[in-house]
Amino acid sequence: MALNKNSNAYTIIYTVVMVVIVGALLATLAILLKPMQEDNVLNEQKESIMKAFGAEGESFDKVTVGAIVGGTQFVEVKKDADIKAAFELISNRKALAAEEDALPIFMYEKAGETLFVVPIVGKGLWNDIWGYVALKPVADNMEVVGIIMDHAGETPGLGAEIATDDVQGQFAGKQLYANGEFALKMLKNGKDNRAYIDGCSVDAISGGTKTCDGVNSMLENSLKKYAPFFETLGVHVNVNIE
């Protein structure tokens, strides 16, 4: 018996069959494309780390993947599975913010200097902000070599400017501490701000105050976990690291 194509039953059956077919195709595509998506994310992470090091376009192979264990001990991560887990932790921003026991860190030798990259994560005005900051020990301090920041939904033309080279470039050469206290901050009004500290302060984005406040919190909260390790490099830190 032929099915009446104008009937409600035909419409329902046709719809159900199409939903099942399309759903199966999408599920299959998702499974097939997942490895490629993961590779793209990993490559983007590596490129951001190299850019923070000031070695954009160079191979990631010379970077040592590590973890700060027990607050002070640098432990090289060698196994592929452990390296993958480290990058997965960085991708999971909530888990990264809560991590205390094995803090991911990257080490790279450049022009005879040992540089470190630390992943950072926080909250902007509307959503997550994150990035990587490259540092090197200088005298009794840690100096910013470069910083890469990104966001999930800051306001275009305002807070979203944290992802631009113009804003990120201002951090290069700035130091983390002043008299042992964490001092790297984005501030409004530049040198006219009473909190301005030469060598530590960065101009805030006009109209992006809340995002800049988020950047300040992100930097301090993320980097304070590494303070005991920085002390092993000769940096004296007075900040509360609990």
| Sequential pLDDT tens for the chain (242 residues) | 556 667 777 788 888 888 888 888 888 877 776 666 677 878 999 999 999 999 998 999 999 999 999 999 999 999 999 999 999 999 999 999 999 999 999 999 998 999 999 999 999 999 999 999 999 999 899 999 999 999 999 999 999 999 999 999 999 999 999 999 999 999 998 888 999 999 999 999 999 999 999 999 999 999 999 999 999 999 988 755 44
Residue from 133, 163, 136 nearest 146 by CA: 133
Q: Is 239 exposed, middle or buried (0-12, 13-18, 19+ CB in 10 A)?
A: middle
Measure the CA–CA gap between 53 and 73, rounded to whole angstroms: 22
Q: How far apart are CA 152 and CA 128, in angstroms?
A: 6
3 state DSSP class of 152? coil
